[in-house]
Amino acid sequence: MSLRVVAHRGASGSYPENTLASFQAALDVGAEIVEMDVQLSRDGELVVIHDPTLDRTTGGSGRVGEWSLAEIRKLSAGFPDRFGDRFREQRVPTFAEALELVRGRAQVLVEIKPESVADGGDEGIEARTLAAIDAAGMRGGAGVTSFHLGALARCRELSPEVPRVPLFKSGSAAEMVAAARGLGAELALPFKGLLSDELLRLAREAGVGLAAWVVDDPEELRELARFELHGIGTNRPAEMLAAIRSVGATPAADG
């Protein structure tokens, strides 16, 4: 079984997360899947940023949805508290820009943030995200993920052929597997601390694969091999890819 490395917000262990620099670094080391987060600006544009506010990673403050795209683009997204001025030229990418960078080089896993989910129908973040994937010609190279199961259900209604990967930070093994099956998902993505023998058993019986987040340590990766993971979200894709190559096979196969 092949274990796939998902670059969590790009190569975010060494670059400011969710920036073009971080995505480029992930591509440079051979990450097969690049994960990114989308939010809506005040004027309904898709921007790539994790938090519902600008404060942590940019030079701005306040909620993302209270700023227009033009206003957001004036800010540095260089994560100054972590990197100082080293990446001050980086900007919050639009989703279209991020897709353009990754297209043809890796697959994309797009996390729809719950804070941006509303009952917007064809104007909601789910529809806009799927439309942007279509516009970029990436219908066959992108999947959507979220903690908001309702958002994933809406994605299934709008574009059933785009894979859906439910995220979990809590819940029983039975609840997680049932949610994945209810969404027609082939893969579930729980926090690594939720992995258990029961979850593996139920997932096997249901035909649902497992992945986990966030794994940055090669030794931890070896310890998790027994759960037959299909993928790991990592902030350090170079290190995890090197760990996999060093044994000449995927950790899952060694388990």
Which residue numbers are catalytic? 8, 50
Q: What is the DSSP letter of 142?
A: E
Q: Is 36 helix (H, G, I), strand (E, B) or coil?
A: strand
Please give the structure tokens belonging to residue 243.
Answer: 């760990």
- DSSP labels for 176-204? HHHHHHHTT-SEEEEBGGG--HHHHHHHH
- The rounded distance, in Å, linking the Cα atoms of 43 and 65 is 8
User: Which tokens is 10 given?
Assistant: 């790009």
Q: Are 171 and 193 in contact (CB under 8 A)?
A: no
Q: Are 4 and 215 in contact (CB under 8 A)?
A: no
